[in-house]
Amino acid sequence: MLRYVVRRLMWAVPILVGISLISFLMIHMAPGGPISVGTDLNPKATAETRARLEAYYGLDQPIHVQYWRWLSRMARLDFGASFSPDGRPVAEKIRERIPITLTINVLSMGLIFLVAIPLGVYSAVRKGSLFDRISTVTVFTGFSIPTFWLALLLMILFGVKLRWLPISGIASLDYGSLGAMGKLADRARHLLLPVLLAGFTGLAGMSRYMRSNMLEVIRQDYIASARAKGLPERKVVFRHAMRNAVLPVITILGLSVPDLLGGSVIFETIFSIPGMGQLFYQGVMSRDYPLIMGILTIGAFLTLIGNLLADVGYALADPRIRPE
Amino acid sequence: MNRPLRRALSQSIVMLLLLAACSGGKPESAGKAAAVPDVPAYGDAVVEGSIGDISGFLSAVTSDAASHEAAGYVFNGLVRYDKDLKLEGVLARSWEVSPDGKKITFHLRRDVKWQDGAPFTSSDVMFTFQRMIDPKTPTAYGDAFKQVKRASAPDPFTFVAEYARPFAPALESWGMDILPKHLLEKYPDISKSPLNKKPVGTGPYRFVEWKTGEKVVFDANPDYFEGKPYIARVITRIIPDQATMFLELLSGGVDTMDLTPPQFARQTDTAEFGKSFNKYKYTAAAFTYLGFRLSHPFFKDKRVRQAIAYAADKKALVDGVLLGLGQEATGPYKPGTWAYNPNVRKYPHDPLHAKALLAEAGWKEKDGVLVKDGRPFEFTVLTNAGNEARAKTAAILQQNLAEVGIRMQIRTVEWAAFINQFIDKRDFEAVILGWTISPDPDQYVIWHSSMTGPKELNFVGFANSEVDKLLEDGRSTFDLEKRKKAYFRIQEILAEEQPYVFLYVPDALPVVQNRIHGIRPAVAGITYNFIKWYVPKALQKYRLEP
């Protein structure tokens, strides 16, 4: 097992380099560049200004030189400085966005698991019942509804009409002067709508997955024999069926690891949440190469780790697929 | 605080039309404030909404409007545009231009202190100048300063800039924020200095905090040389979505923002809204146009361009795209400013006249489409994706042109691709775009026949020797009357030649919570006198610790 993990980790290095190379080439191929924002259609910028800025950012070098510079910095875990005018280190820009993104994602994922698993199980057990049909319609409504539209409706209701909740942002203007409890309450009020909404719109996938797993399991012979033994239905469902149906969820958990740090642009924009999604979007729009590469590299790394965790976790839980 | 100038500086957003700089108007709804004594009082905070986060406070190295506006609270230039968009002194008490126009001498104010207490002197101006021309400074605004042949600071309150030849737009360039030498000289690259994140300037507000992606806070500078601002605190909240920002406005989360035409005309058209807000409406410093590649066989002929101008229903565009909140454009200058010539050839909507001109140019109608030499009159207009106003403009023009037998296809392209693949490579037939109009009328880079090289801005390929001469004359004299004559004539020629069909000038539509008083709309908009805005004591909303 340990050898398997070590081998996988060693493989991750060339894969990461490959991903970074492809990403690097892709973003350099995209039209425009880091200096476009300031100089395109700018009557005050001449060819000389452009040349000077290109040299400043090292964009006048051949692309393989630029990549090599980036890679050798990266090897020392140095993400470099952003090409945005503030010139701040990319690592710092990412670090300040992580807490809020992580909080929202952990909360909404927790909410999804908490609601979706029982929902899926119950729908499967009572397949075709009124409950099953209502929950199916509800979760698919959440899945299909445009997030930004529902968000605006909820903002109008709770923010403008009822005035119960703040509309956007992550803190009130007087946040700094609040006590610890006050701060917590204030943050909770700001995060309530985004988390509920993210949960509602993300419910469909997980609950459907759970339902179909459960339906699969419930048809198995061992469930029939459990029933035949005369076990009460509750025990059959929770002890025998559900434990097996939950197994594949481990895979989903593992694959969700990169999502923990990935933010949704639409979601963060509508709620004015300064998270990773907005950071990445702004980076792409302004062709901030070091920032884009930094976020992509972290994403690739987390994906590889997540895959590994999923495989290991699954192997631990299910003796049948343990690697030799 | 000098928005028009900041707009002029942040030309990178030239085509986004997210403008607030404006001209003469009055509050739309005179809010019925309670009977409180309306006397200026210190205190309270104003919360502004901003679509974009700022990217730094040193405007020399930033190029977005949000950053330039934030810098405007903390820094001053030597000059700025006043409420009528004329240059006035700020850090410069006065200035004179030598008779040959090659030397500008600035006399600096003696009562100015940096916010850390150090005195402001001509060495700061010299330092700023040196950094603007330093290759280690990543600025897009260095060119105007490179024209300076010799700069000198003969005494602590005099600064002299000498040019090789007279260059009128040079004066405007001294509106650049002046940087504190004593805090910055040890940083070879000012963009990497702490001041880019925590600025110290001479301006009306002091920097308090910047929470990335969330807000920027400023407090009034009690020692500001033009008087302590009444509003004690300014908070710029970053709210990237226009609809969310509007809901924040309704719920009291922000006090002022710029409205879209639908928000202005429809969503705020209630008595309830009028009770709490004042809406303002001004001519924005921008115009939208249909531009042709003039070397294209269809558009070479002036009569064809004029015919398209007659075919375009500009009133329908103003009504349909801007909901009436704007006006028809006649040229590249802002109506109401000194350089604007109102008496140029106009092109009222007249499809018959358009058809006659096209027939004269050899186009014959066949099955509803014009044909010449066996080729149907069909072309594609490009515009940038995500700009709703331009998409609507294209749709209306498409219909207008169909009426006279011209088939126009519409293609929208992502901004960076649009500029790099199509505009820069001159690979287009026609485009719908816009320009912001800088307060200085020098448009040499847009119309001069020498500016057609790669990445240069005369991308339509306009070449007219009289215009070339006038552009050269206009920028090489400081005499306003002479300049006015040159730019008036340029507008006549452009109206006749129609290298662009000038379509419309939108209105800027700011809204302000009505507890805030002292707003005096002018040609320059509303924010030029921000330090005189106030909230009467009884109406103050935010209590701030002194």
Tokens 């928005």 locate to: B3
pLDDT for res B511: 97
Token pair for residue B11? 């030309």
User: With a CB-CB cutoff of 8 Å, which residues 235-264 of chain B face chain A?
Assistant: 235, 237-241, 243-244, 247-248, 250-251, 253
Inter-chain touch A155–B446, beta carbons under 8 Å: no
Asked if B21 is an interface residue toward chain A (Cβ–Cβ < 8 A), one would say no
CB-CB contact of B495 with B310 (8 Å): no
Please enumerate in sequence order all residues whose Cβ is within 8 A of that of A320, keeping only pairs 6 or more positions apart, or say none: none
Alpha-helical (H) ranges within B195-301 are 242-251, 261-262, 271-276
pLDDT for res B6: 54
CB nearest B55 (choices: A49, A84, A167): A84
CA distance B52 to B61: 17
Query: What is the nearest CA distance from A257 to chain B, expressed in angstroms?
Result: 24
CA neighbor of A285 nearest in space, from B260, B386, B72: B386
Residue range A223-268, pLDDT digits in tens: 889 889 888 888 888 888 888 888 888 788 888 888 888 878 888 9
CA distance B324 to B320: 7
Q: Which residue of B has its CA nearest to A33?
A: B416
Please enumerate in sequence order all residues whose Cβ is within 8 A of that of B352, keeping only pairs 6 or more positions apart, or say none: none
Token pair for residue B51? 């679509």
- From the centroid of its chain, how far is CA B112? 28
CA distance B55 to A84: 7
Task: Give every residue of chain B whose pLDDT is below 50, as ranges.
Answer: 1, 7-33
Handedness of CA B217, B221, B224, B229 (dihedral sign): positive
Asked if B420 is an interface residue toward chain A (Cβ–Cβ < 8 A), one would say yes
Cα-based distances in Å from A264 to A150, A279, B148: 15, 10, 48
CA neighbor of B496 nearest in space, from B519, B455, B462, B471: B462
CB-CB contact of A298 with A261 (8 Å): yes
Q: Which residue of A has its CA nearest to B239?
A: A272
User: With a CB-CB cutoff of 8 Å, which residues 49-88 of chain B face chain A?
Assistant: 53, 55-56, 58, 61-64, 67
CB nearest A49 (choices: B140, B416, B443): B140
Inter-chain touch A31–B250, beta carbons under 8 Å: no
Mutate to test the interface with A, among B6, B11, B190 (most CBs of A within 10 A): B11
pLDDT for res B94: 96
Inter-chain touch B64–A37, beta carbons under 8 Å: yes
By CB neighbour count within 10 A (0-12 exposed, 13-18 middle, 19+ buried), where does B477 fall? middle
Inter-chain touch A171–B214, beta carbons under 8 Å: yes
Q: Which residue of B has its CA nearest to A45?
A: B140
* Phi, psi torsion values for B407, nearest 5 degrees: -95, 115
CA angle A36, A38, A40 (to 5 degrees): 50
CA neighbor of B196 nearest in space, from B220, B214, B212, B172: B212
ipTM score of the complex? 0.88
pLDDT for res B21: 33
Share of chain A above pLDDT 70, in %: 99
Asked if B214 is an interface residue toward chain A (Cβ–Cβ < 8 A), one would say yes
pLDDT for res A260: 84
Quickly list DSSP for B169-189.
Answer: HHHHHTTSPPP-HHHHTT-SS
Contacts of A47 in chain B (CB under 8 A): 453, 455
- Single-letter amino acid code for the residue at B259: L
CA distance B204 to A28: 42
Inter-chain touch A55–B420, beta carbons under 8 Å: no
Token pair for residue B347? 């092109």
Mutate to test the interface with B, among A54, A272, A279 (most CBs of B within 10 A): A272
Residue range B221-247, pLDDT digits in tens: 999 999 999 999 999 999 999 999 999
CB-CB contact of B294 with B460 (8 Å): yes
Contacts of B250 in chain A (CB under 8 A): 160
CA distance A228 to A225: 5
Inter-chain touch B11–A271, beta carbons under 8 Å: no
Alpha-helical (H) ranges within B65-148 are 65-74, 122-132, 143-146
| Angle, helices A90-125/A243-255, rounded to nearest 10 degrees | 160
End-to-end, the C-alpha distance of chain A in Å comes to 7
pLDDT for res B203: 97
Token pair for residue A120? 């899926």
CB nearest A86 (choices: B197, B423, B438): B197
B157 or A36, which is more confident: B157
Question: What is the residue-averaged pLDDT of chain A?
Answer: 89
Quickly list DSSP for A209-259.
Answer: HHHHHHHHHHTSHHHHHHHHTT--HHHIIIIIIIHHHHHHHHHHHHHTHHH
Residue range A154-172, pLDDT digits in tens: 999 999 999 999 999 999 9
CA distance B253 to B256: 10
CA distance B410 to B427: 15
Cβ count near B359 (within 10 Å) = 15
Average pLDDT over residues A303-318: 85
Contacts of A265 in chain B (CB under 8 A): none
Token pair for residue A23? 């990403």
CB-facing half-sphere around the CA of A65: CA atoms within 13 A:
6
Contacts of B144 in chain A (CB under 8 A): 44
CA distance B230 to B204: 10
| B159 DSSP β-pair partners | B106
CB-CB contact of B51 with B242 (8 Å): yes
Q: Which residues of B244-275 are buried (b: 16+ CB within 10 A; e: fewer)?
A: bbbbbbbbebbbbbbbbbebbeeebeeeebbe
pLDDT for res B391: 95
Asked if B544 is an interface residue toward chain A (Cβ–Cβ < 8 A), one would say no
Tokens 């997210």 locate to: B18
CA neighbor of A168 nearest in space, from A197, A142, A145, A139: A197
Contacts of A81 in chain B (CB under 8 A): 192
* Phi, psi torsion values for B151, nearest 5 degrees: -120, 145
Mutate to test the interface with B, among A44, A97, A282 (most CBs of B within 10 A): A44
Asked if B15 is an interface residue toward chain A (Cβ–Cβ < 8 A), one would say yes
CA distance B498 to B311: 13
DSSP B263: I
Residue range A104-130, pLDDT digits in tens: 999 999 999 999 989 998 999 888 999
Tokens 């434990």 locate to: A243
pLDDT for res B1: 43
CB-CB contact of B351 with B337 (8 Å): no
